[in-house]
């Protein structure tokens, strides 16, 4: 295996949905992708219909749709028919209380069956589903529900008491609160969801929604400024379905585990919609990360396609590859990663641990679905995001006078990653912020805000967010490159890199490092890491200083908060930290 390329053999991708990238990209059309779905009888399009009802119509109701594993290892199974009946009951619960088409229904739940039922039931009712991450505190919840003009909320009694009840009266639009895990004495102005579902019919005719009707409201992580509510429509299901086939290589007999929480868009687009529209079996684990538990789930549930995050992969690396080899993971045929760039050494490590690489991919809350990926049938270049999905026109652009942009065609030239608008899952708005939305589109491109490079084979390489790039003595330094070099050292578990003001150079690179188990911070190790980085990167790019940290500040979705590292280093205001992991505050 070469460091810069993991070559695929034909036996690695027998039966892959995408064979021959160039031909597929040339012949692909979104109209054909739309034809893979049924649409509503009589016209229209609804995500819940494509995820559940069309499978029932085709006689696949007895197939296992969802297996939920509780913290205590007990399990609940839902066939497509059983899930459909529960979804219908929830839709009836909403309709009976006057919650109509276009009304916003929020969820504040952990990974429990009620969350998945609520998401699909809301969509079937023609209402808009907006998930909230269950670890949020009261203020970020309040901000998002106010921006979204929430009409209804599904949450637990415990979350309601701590996070909603103190400010509920400030949100006049919130008419209904449904509680799970209720005590014997129901709280005022709340509804026992289990009791309501038990009384509701299990038949419901899907509300007729058009492709451009609002379906999902996802809030960005909010690492800077006010959270943005990205609006997605029912037409997004066309992208969710086809990207599941092409990027995650879904086949009907697959057993799929997406470890992302549905409080984030990955957990909705690829933890609910994409697998169900493709008719696969989903595994859902209620518990938090535990390496041995994860390996046991992969083994016992015979998972074939696994979608997880770089943070989790680095945590697995931290405990070592030996533990993985105690389990039978032979059913795994595709492992994919999303959330932030996957460092090259994590890809190489995965070959050691699993006998196959993780396939990184790239997309955003705003894109609604996977845009760039390392396909199962293509060589993997560790550190690369891969190549654009068929139907996605990507480019590297530079800003020019007059506020316009132009495409850069020179291989490995750094610029802003941009996409040609028009794919089905593209956000249609930032809710109530038209000007902010319009600023994303320049010269016929959607500007992602990410800096990247494209090599001569069409693979894309992440450099960093445009506001993270370090300008030092005339050099533009991407933090991801420096972090990846540091992580090649045997002692380093995670690294975060920022620029520090310096009078002569403008900025110099400083790195923050969390060590693997068995290594302790010391001056000798600091010097060793500085030398390692200098040897790998050269003196112009290598960090001038390294600080050790037990943990690095990350958002709850796993992204290292370089902005926060910089604010703390320079004594600047920390800004919105509502999405920061609580133990890091």
* SS3 state at 342: coil
Between CA 140 and CA 144 the distance in angstroms is: 6
The whole model's pTM is what? 0.85
Question: Is domain 10-454 classified as CATH 1.10.580.10?
Answer: no
Predicted local distance difference test score (pLDDT) of residue 583: 37
Site of tokens 């533009």: 476
What is the Cβ-side half-sphere exposure of residue 300, based on CA atoms within 13 angstroms? 12
Cα–Cα distance measured from residue 388 to residue 247, given in angstroms and rounded to the nearest whole number: 10
Question: Which of 294, 278, 275 lies closest to 286, judged by CA?
Answer: 294
Q: What is the pLDDT along the chain (585 residues), one digit of tens a residue?
A: 346 899 999 988 999 999 999 999 999 999 999 999 999 999 999 999 999 999 999 999 999 999 999 999 999 999 999 999 999 999 999 999 999 999 999 999 999 999 999 999 999 999 999 999 887 888 888 989 999 999 999 999 999 999 999 999 999 999 999 999 888 789 999 999 999 999 999 999 999 999 999 999 999 854 445 789 999 999 999 999 999 999 999 999 999 999 998 888 999 999 999 999 999 999 999 999 999 999 999 999 999 999 998 888 988 998 889 999 999 999 999 999 988 788 888 999 999 999 999 999 999 999 999 999 999 999 999 999 999 999 999 999 999 988 999 999 999 998 999 999 999 999 999 999 999 999 999 999 999 999 899 999 999 998 877 777 777 765 667 787 788 889 889 999 999 998 888 776 678 899 999 999 899 999 999 999 999 988 878 777 789 999 999 888 887 666 788 878 887 887 766 655 655 554 332
10-454 and 467-584: same fold?
no
The structure tokens listed for 189 are: 């102005």
CA distances from 475 to 104, 413, 472 (A): 47, 13, 5
Pairing of strands 176-180, 475-477: unpaired
Which class in CATH covers the domain with range 467-584?
Answer: alpha beta
Predicted local confidence at residue 578, as pLDDT: 58
Query: Which pLDDT value is given to residue 182?
Result: 87
Long-range contacts of 14-22 (CB under 8 A, 24+ apart): 15/251, 16/249, 16/375, 16/376, 16/377, 17/245, 17/246, 17/249, 17/250, 17/251, 18/246, 18/249, 18/375, 18/376, 18/377, 18/390, 19/377, 20/377, 21/375, 21/377, 21/378, 21/387, 21/390
Q: Which helix (H) or strand (E) holds 288?
A: none
The secondary structure of 52-104, three-state, reads: HHHHHHCCCCCCEEEEEECCCCCEEEEEHHHHHHHHHHHHHHHHHCCCCCCCE
Query: Domain limits of the chain?
Result: 10-454, 467-584
Taking the C-alpha atoms of residue 537 and residue 139, their distance in angstroms, rounded to an integer, is 42
């Amino acid at each position: 295996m070469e460091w810069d390329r993991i070559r695929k053999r034909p036996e690695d991708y027998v039966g892959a949905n995408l064979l021959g990238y160039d031909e597929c990209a040339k012949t692909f059309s979104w109209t054909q992708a739309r034809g893979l779905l049924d649409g509503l009888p009589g016209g229209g399009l609804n995500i819940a219909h494509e995820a559940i009802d069309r499978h029932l119509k085709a006689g696949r109701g007895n197939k296992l749709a969802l297996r939920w594993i509780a913290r205590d290892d007990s399990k609940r199974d839902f066939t497509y028919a059983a899930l459909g009946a529960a979804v219908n009951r929830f839709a009836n619960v909403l309709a009976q209380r006057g919650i109509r088409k276009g009304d916003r229904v929020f969820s504040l739940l952990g990974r429990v069956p009620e969350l998945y039922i609520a998401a699909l039931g809301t969509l079937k009712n023609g209402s808009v589903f907006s998930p909230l991450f269950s670890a949020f505190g009261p203020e970020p919840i309040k901000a998002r529900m106010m921006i979204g003009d929430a009409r209804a909320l599904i949450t637990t009694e415990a979350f309601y008491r701590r996070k909603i009840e103190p400010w509920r009266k400030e949100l006049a639009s919130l008419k209904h609160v449904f509680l799970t895990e209720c005590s014997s004495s129901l709280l005022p102005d709340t509804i026992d969801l289990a009791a309501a579902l038990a009384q509701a019919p299990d038949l419901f005719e899907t509300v007729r929604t058009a492709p451009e009707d609002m379906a999902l409201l996802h809030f960005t992580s909010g690492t800077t400024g006010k959270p943005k509510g990205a609006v997605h429509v029912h037409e997004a299901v066309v992208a969710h379905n086809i990207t599941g086939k092409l990027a995650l290589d879904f086949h009907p007999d697959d057993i799929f585990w997406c470890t992302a929480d549905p409080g984030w868009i990955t957990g909705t687009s690829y933890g609910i919609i994409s697998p169900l529209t493709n008719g696969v079996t989903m595994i859902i684990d209620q518990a938090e990360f535990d390496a041995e538990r994860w390996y046991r789930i992969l083994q016992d549930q015979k998972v074939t396609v696994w979608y997880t995050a770089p943070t989790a992969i680095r945590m697995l690396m931290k405990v070592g590859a030996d533990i993985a080899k105690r389990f039978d993971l032979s059913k795994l045929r595709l492992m994919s990663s999303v959330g932030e760039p996957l460092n090259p050494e994590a890809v190489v490590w995965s070959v050691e641990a699993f006998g196959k690489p993780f396939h990184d991919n790239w997309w955003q809350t705003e894109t609604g679905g996977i845009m760039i990926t390392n396909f199962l049938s293509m060589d993997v270049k560790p550190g690369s995001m891969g190549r654009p999905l068929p139907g996605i026109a990507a480019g590297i652009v530079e800003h020019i006078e007059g506020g316009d942009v132009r495409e850069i065609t020179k291989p490995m030239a750094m610029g802003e990653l941009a996409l040609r608008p028009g794919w089905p899952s593209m956000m249609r708005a930032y809710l109530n912020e038209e000007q902010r939305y319009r600023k994303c589109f320049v010269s016929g491109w959607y500007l992602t805000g990410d800096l990247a490079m494209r090599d001569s084979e069409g693979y894309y390489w992440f450099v960093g967010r445009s506001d993270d790039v370090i300008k030092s003595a005339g050099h533009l330094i991407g933090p991801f490159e420096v972090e990846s070099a540091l992580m090649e050292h045997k002692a380093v578990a995670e690294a975060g890199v920022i620029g520090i003001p310096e009078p002569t150079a403008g900025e110099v690179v400083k790195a923050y490092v969390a060590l693997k188990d068995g290594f302790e911070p010391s001056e000798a190790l600091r010097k060793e890491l500085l030398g390692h980085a200098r040897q790998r990167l050269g003196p112009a790019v290598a960090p001038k200083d390294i600080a050790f940290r037990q943990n690095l500040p990350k958002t709850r979705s796993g992204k290292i908060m370089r902005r926060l590292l910089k604010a703390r280093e320079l004594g600047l205001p920390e800004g919105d930290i509502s999405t920061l992991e609580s133990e890091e505050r």
